Structure 1
Amino acid sequence: MDDLDWFAEQFEAHRPRLQAVAYRMLGSLTEAEDALQEAWIRTTRSQSSSIDNISAWLVTLVGRVCIDMLRSHQSRRENLVGTWLPEPVVSTEETHDPEQASLLADSVGLALLVVLESLEPAERLAFVLHDMFGVPFDKIAPIVDRTPVAARQLASRARRRLRGTVTMPDADLPTQRRVVDAFLAASRAGDFEALITLLDPDVVFRVDTGPRPWLGPALLVGARDVAEHATTFGPRFATLCQPALVNGAAGIIATGRAGVLAVVGITVVDEHIAEIDLVLDPDKLSGVTIDD
C-alpha cells in the first residue's frame, strides 16, 4: 500500500473524531467539513514513515487547520451585528443518518459552543485538544507557536474564563423533553404564567438571524422579558414547531413550505429552561433536513 492509499484509509477511519474536533473548534459543520478537506490535502504532502501515532498526528493536523481558519474568521465575527450562534446538529425521532447519529452521540451543546467562541483562538485550541481530546501539550505547542509550558497555560487560562459561564444541562433526556413540550404548549397558548414557571429567573434568550432582518432584540435576559416575547410571538411561531434533538439535547425545529425555518436549542437545568438559542441564519439551516 502506498502512502496516498494508507493516508486515505487512516483519514476515513478517524473521520468521526476529526469532525468532532473541527466542530468544537469552529462551531460550524460546514466549516468543519472545509477544515477536513484542507487537512486531507495536507496529508498528500506528508510521508507516513515520519509518523509514529497517526491518530494524534491527524488531530493536531486538523487543529492546525482550524486555528488558521479561526484567526481568519475572527475579525468577521467581531463585526457581526447581533448574536453569533453555532451551526446546530439536528435530528428528529425518525432520522437515521449514521453520520448525524455519530455527531449527536459525541456532540456538545450550543450553549457551550457559544462560550468557547469567547476564547482566543490559541486558548480554544489548547482547551479543546487537551481537555476534550487528550492531546498532550508537547503536541499542541507547535500549533500555537508556544512552548509546552505556555500551551498548558493557555488551556488553564481557558478553564478560568469558562469557569462559572458554562451551563450544565440536565442529563436526563426525558426530563428535558417534558420541559420543552410544556414550553411549546405554553407558547402556543400564549400562557404567560405557565411560561414563567418553566423559565429560570435568569434565563438567556439569544437570536442569530444571519442576514435576515429581526424586529426584536437579539438578546433577552430574565424570565419576564423572555416570557413576554414568547407570549407575543409564540402563538404563531410555535404552531410551526416540533420537538427535535439539537446537539444531543431536547430542542425544537420549525418548518414551513420553504423547509426548515428555525432551530431552537434549549438548555434545561433543574427542570427549568436556562438558555434558549434561536438559529434563523439560512446558511446555518441549509444542511438541516427532516424526514417527511
Structure 2
Amino acid sequence: MALTVNDVDRFEASRPRLEAIAYRLLGSASEAEDVVQETFLRWQAADVRRIEVPEAWLTKVLTNLCLNQLTSARARRETYVGQWLPEPLLAGDPMLGPADTAEQRESLSYAVLTLLERLSPGERAVYVLREAFDYPHREIAGILDITETASQQIFHRAKKHVAAGKARTEIDEATARRVVDEFLAAATSGRTEPLVRLLTQDAVAIGDGGGKVPARTKAFEGAVAVAKFVRGLFKPGKAKRDLIGGSPGVYAATANGDPALVAVLDGRVVGVMCLAVTPGGITAIRNQVNPDKLERATRRWAAADHGEPLLRFF
C-alpha cells in the first residue's frame, strides 16, 4: 500500500531522533543516514494503518538494523587500517540528538563514543537507548525482545564498563575556546614543556586515517611522548604541505561537546582534533583525518561563516 503524505510526514517527524539514535549506536554519520533510509523503506513496505505506535515500531526496526550493522562492523574493523575512531559531529549538528542533561551530553562525547566500541552490540543498544534517550526499560525490552530485568542488568553492566574508562569535565563554550587557545599556543611554541604542562601524565594521542591519510597505527602514550608528537605535528614543513595539498586553516570549534581544532583546506574539512579535558588536564587527543569520516563535517562547516583561522597549518 502506497504511503500517504501524512504517512511520510509521520516518518519525517521521527527522522531527527532516528538519526541521532543510529549515530550513537554506530559512531558513523554516513552509516546512520543509510540505516535511517533503510528504516524508511521498511516503513514504506509495511501496512502502516496497522501500526498502533509508529515511534515504537520505527525505533525497533532502526535499532535492530543497527545491531546487524554493528555485528558486521566488528568484523570489518578487525581489518581496519590503523586506529578506528568515530565520525566527529560539529556543534549544532542535529544528529547529535538530545543534550538536555549531563548524562545525555556525556553520552555523545567523543571519548564515550570511543569507549562504546568495547561493548557488545546488545550492551551498546541498551546503554544508548537508556542513557542518551531516556527510554524506560520496559520499552527497551520490547525493542530488543528481552525481559525488562535483562535490560536493567545489561544497562548496569554497560554503564560500569563505560564509567571505568572515562573521566571527563563538562565545559562551556567559552572554556572550550580557552582550552583550544592554550593548546595552540603550546603546540606552536616549538617546545615540549608547555604542552606537557597541559597534559595529564597518562595522556594519549590517537589518529584515524583509515589507510587514506598517514596516521600512526599505535597511540602515543604518556605526556612527554604526546607532547613531542604534537610539537612535530604543528612544525611547518614543505613535505607536509605537499602531502595535504596546501596549508589548511585551523579554527577553534567544539565537536561532540568537546573542545576541538578543525583544519580546513579550500572549504573542505581535512581534520578534526578533539581534546578530552579532565580536572587534571588534557587526557586524550583524538585526531580524525579519514576523509570518509569528514564529509558531514564539511557540509556543516560550509553552512556557516567562521571568520579567519587562528593560524595556517604547516
1:94 aligned partner: none
CA distance in 1, matches of 2:98, 2:147: 34
**Within-5 A mapping of 1:113-152:** 113-141=113-141, 143-152=143-152
Q: CA deviation at 1:3?
A: 5.0
**Within-5 A mapping of 1:92-171:** 100=93, 103=96, 106=99, 108-141=108-141, 143-171=143-171
Q: CA deviation at 1:248?
A: 2.8
**Within-5 A mapping of 1:144-223:** 144-212=144-212, 214=214, 216-223=216-223
2:233 aligned partner: 233
Q: CA deviation at 1:251?
A: 0.4
Worse overlay, 199-208 or 27-36: 199-208
With over 3 angstroms needed to count, the CA separation of the structure-2 counterparts of 1:272 and 1:9, relative to structure 1, is same
Q: CA deviation at 1:282?
A: 1.2
Is the CA contact (8 Å cut-off) linking 1:170 and 1:176 kept in structure 2? no
With over 3 angstroms needed to count, the CA separation of the structure-2 counterparts of 1:47 and 1:6, relative to structure 1, is farther
2:253 aligned partner: 244
Is the CA contact (8 Å cut-off) linking 1:111 and 1:167 kept in structure 2? no
Q: Partner amino acid for 1:29?
A: A
Q: CA deviation at 1:257?
A: 4.5
Q: Partner amino acid for 1:184?
A: L
- Partner-residue secondary structure (3-state), 2:203: strand
Q: Partner amino acid for 1:127?
A: Y
1:282 aligned partner: 291
Worse overlay, 65-74 or 263-272: 263-272
Instruction: Give CA-to-partner distance per residue, 1:210-250, whole Å, 9 cap, x none.
Output: 01353645312221111111122222389742212212332
CA distance in 2, matches of 1:225, 1:75: 31
With over 3 angstroms needed to count, the CA separation of the structure-2 counterparts of 1:222 and 1:288, relative to structure 1, is same
- Partner-residue secondary structure (3-state), 1:165: coil
Is the CA contact (8 Å cut-off) linking 1:261 and 1:285 kept in structure 2? yes
Q: CA deviation at 1:209?
A: 0.9
1:6 aligned partner: 6
Is the CA contact (8 Å cut-off) linking 1:179 and 1:198 kept in structure 2? no
Q: Partner amino acid for 2:19?
A: Q
Instruction: Give CA-to-partner distance per residue, 1:46-103, whole Å, 9 cap, x none.
Output: 2334333332332222111111111121100123232110111125xxxxxx7x2563
Worse overlay, 190-199 or 25-34: 190-199
Q: CA deviation at 1:177?
A: 1.4
With over 3 angstroms needed to count, the CA separation of the structure-2 counterparts of 1:110 and 1:215, relative to structure 1, is closer
Q: Does 1:38 align with 2:23?
A: no
With over 3 angstroms needed to count, the CA separation of the structure-2 counterparts of 1:239 and 1:61, relative to structure 1, is closer
Q: Partner amino acid for 2:268?
A: G
Q: CA deviation at 1:114?
A: 0.3
CA distance in 1, matches of 2:66, 2:170: 30
CA distance in 1, matches of 2:78, 2:97: 29
- Partner-residue secondary structure (3-state), 1:211: coil
- Partner-residue secondary structure (3-state), 2:296: coil
Q: CA deviation at 1:113?
A: 0.5
Show structure 1 runs of 5+ residues with no match.
92-97
1:253 aligned partner: 262
State, as a whole percentage, how many aligned pairs show the same letter: 35
Number of aligned pairs? Answer: 284
Q: CA RMSD in A?
A: 2.5
